[in-house]
């Protein structure tokens, strides 16, 4: 099984595409520090220390703390978009593609919950330019899910009175997995992914359409 | 219309039950400070300053910053429980009670999003005793929603293969409203509440049961 979120990487092998290695280690340290203490309570000195580097070494790679948050947020959103585009561009019917999108997106949020929390909860800490870029990526994320739902409505697979509202709810349900998911809890990321795919198909009336 | 979350109060008239007035103003200032900068980046001096009081005046009411977070979290969770108990204890069938629970809970999270974010995202900042108390309240919140879903399954109104998982998803969907809701956005708290009640009834198969 080679799903989109495995290509993009969970918390197990994160930020593989960031080079050189020092820049990657600093991003990882920043994610951990922001998640533990919050963006505003974290200093660049804290981040450098966690990565086993000096503050001067950090400045070679990142000019400011905000640049670190911006990089984390951009990479996180680009991975989210990758996962949803892969699911959306699949060969199957809308029902299959929506189930794939939801289960992949949920697994990624469960596995990468530390990063996802930073990306989601520290959005207001970005400056106006960085924020505008991220908002643009979020619109594309939204468009991928909306596109699958629209396909299903057109093909008669789905019955959805409010497509934008349902799109919002589907994404919200997946994103909030990063808040509550617990590795010591009773469900694996795969089990939550399967449960949520089923619940979302019910939300879009896929079962009702199939049985009517 | 006198729904549960209006009795409990949104952001418009918050913390009315906290007395004396100075203690109430300090809680409000703490919510704003924690929401803006995070718990760890906020000092008791910041909170006292926002409330127009001296640090010494703060210590009359709250011994530590954690005590403020604990009070905020306890009051927030008790209100959540109030709202869900009111909906759950209504006269109607499970379908009606679940729709009422979801729409009330969503409206409350949309209106009180600043408080809800602090309550949800700073849970890990509580010490072990405070955290254990809040976890106990969260179990009761969960039990209210699960109880309505179980009623609906028993009465034949709902078709739910995984009751605990569906309960988790319903609560998660409502709670995440506090993250994304925007007062300048296209939807009012009432509209989101109505949309989500409809989506949740689909999740529990209420429509399918009604038409089959």
> Quick check: is B169 in a domain?
yes
> Quick check: is A92 in a domain?
yes
Per-residue pLDDT reduced to its tens digit, B69-114: 999 999 999 999 999 999 999 999 999 999 999 999 999 999 999 9
Asked if B107 contacts B4 with a C-beta cutoff of 8 angstroms, the reply is no
Residue A15 pLDDT class (50, 70, 90 cuts): confident
User: In chain A, which residues have their Cβ closer than 8 Å to the Cβ of B38?
Assistant: 37-41
Sign of CA dihedral B165, A204, A206, B200: positive
Q: How far apart are CA B104 and CA B80, in angstroms?
A: 10
Q: Indicate the burial class of A63 (C-beta count within 10 angstroms; 0-12, 13-18, 19 or more).
A: exposed
- Where is average pLDDT lowest: A78-92, A182-196, B1-15, B27-41? B1-15
CA–chain centroid gap for B61, Å, is 24
Contacts for A56 with CB less than 8 Å, ≥ 6 apart: none
- A189: CATH: 1.10.357.10
Nearest CB among A38, A176, A205 relative to B41 is that of: A38
User: In chain B, which residues have their Cβ closer than 8 Å to the Cβ of A197?
Assistant: none
> Quick check: is B69 in a domain?
yes
Asked if B4 contacts B83 with a C-beta cutoff of 8 angstroms, the reply is yes
Residue A208 pLDDT class (50, 70, 90 cuts): low
Give the gap in angstroms from C-alpha B187 to the nearest C-alpha of chain A.
9
Mean pLDDT over A135-143 rounds to: 97
> Is a pLDDT exceeding 80 seen at residue A177?
yes
Residue, of A208 and B64, whose pLDDT is higher: B64
Q: What is the mean pLDDT of chain A?
A: 91
ipTM of the complex: 0.90
Residue B11, pLDDT score = 47
Q: What is the mean pLDDT of chain B?
A: 91
Interchain CB contact of B179 with A (< 8 Å): yes
Question: How many domains does chain A divide into?
Answer: 1
Mean pLDDT over A93-106 rounds to: 98
Residue A100 pLDDT class (50, 70, 90 cuts): very high
Residue A2 pLDDT class (50, 70, 90 cuts): very low
- Interface A–B counts its CB contacts (< 8 A) at 85
Nearest CB among A169, A180, A195 relative to B199 is that of: A169
User: What Å distances lie between residue B210 and A58, A156, A181, B138, CA to CA?
Assistant: 61, 21, 33, 31
Give the gap in angstroms from C-alpha B25 to the nearest C-alpha of chain A.
24
> Quick check: is A19 in a domain?
no
To the nearest 10 degrees (0 to 180), the angle between helices A94-111 and A113-121 is 90
> Quick check: is B23 in a domain?
no
> Is a pLDDT exceeding 50 seen at residue B210?
no
Give the gap in angstroms from C-alpha A160 to the nearest C-alpha of chain B.
10
Interchain CB contact of B95 with A (< 8 Å): no
User: In chain A, which residues have their Cβ closer than 8 Å to the Cβ of B168?
Assistant: 180
Nearest CB among A117, A162, A202 relative to B205 is that of: A202
Say yes or no for a CB contact (<8 Å) between A37 and B40. yes
> Quick check: is A172 in a domain?
yes
Residue B208, pLDDT score = 64
Alpha helices in chain A (DSSP H): 4-8, 21-37, 44-50, 55-61, 65-88, 94-111, 113-121, 128-155, 163-175, 177-180, 189-203, 206-211
Range of the domain at A95: 65-211
> Quick check: is A13 in a domain?
no
Alpha helices in A62-121 (DSSP H): 65-88, 94-111, 113-121
Say yes or no for a CB contact (<8 Å) between A173 and B176. yes
Residue A1, pLDDT score = 38
> Quick check: is B133 in a domain?
yes
Asked if A87 contacts A4 with a C-beta cutoff of 8 angstroms, the reply is yes
Mean pLDDT over B144-162 rounds to: 98
Say yes or no for a CB contact (<8 Å) between B177 and A172. yes
């Amino acid at each position: 099984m080679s799903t989109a979120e495995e290509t993009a990487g969970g918390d197990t092998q994160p930020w593989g595409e960031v080079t050189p290695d020092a820049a990657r280690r600093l991003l990882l340290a920043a994610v951990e520090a922001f998640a533990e203490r919050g963006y505003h309570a974290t200093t660049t000195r804290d981040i450098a220390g966690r990565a086993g580097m000096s503050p001067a070494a950090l400045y070679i790679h990142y000019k400011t703390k905000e640049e670190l948050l911006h990089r984390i947020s951009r990479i996180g959103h680009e991975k989210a978009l990758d996962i949803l585009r892969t699911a959306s561009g699949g060969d199957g019917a809308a029902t299959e593609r929506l189930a794939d999108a939801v289960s992949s997106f949920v697994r990624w949020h469960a596995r990468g919950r530390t990063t996802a929390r930073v990306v989601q909860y520290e959005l207001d800490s970005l400056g106006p330019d960085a924020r505008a870029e991220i908002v643009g990526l979020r619109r594309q994320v939204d468009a991928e899910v909306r596109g699958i739902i629209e396909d299903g409505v057109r093909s008669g697979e789905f019955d959805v009175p409010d497509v934008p509202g349902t799109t919002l709810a589907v994404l919200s349900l997946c994103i909030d997995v990063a808040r509550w998911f617990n590795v010591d809890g009773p469900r694996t990321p795969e089990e939550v992914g399967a449960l949520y795919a089923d619940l979302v198909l019910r939300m879009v009336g896929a079962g009702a359409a199939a049985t009517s």
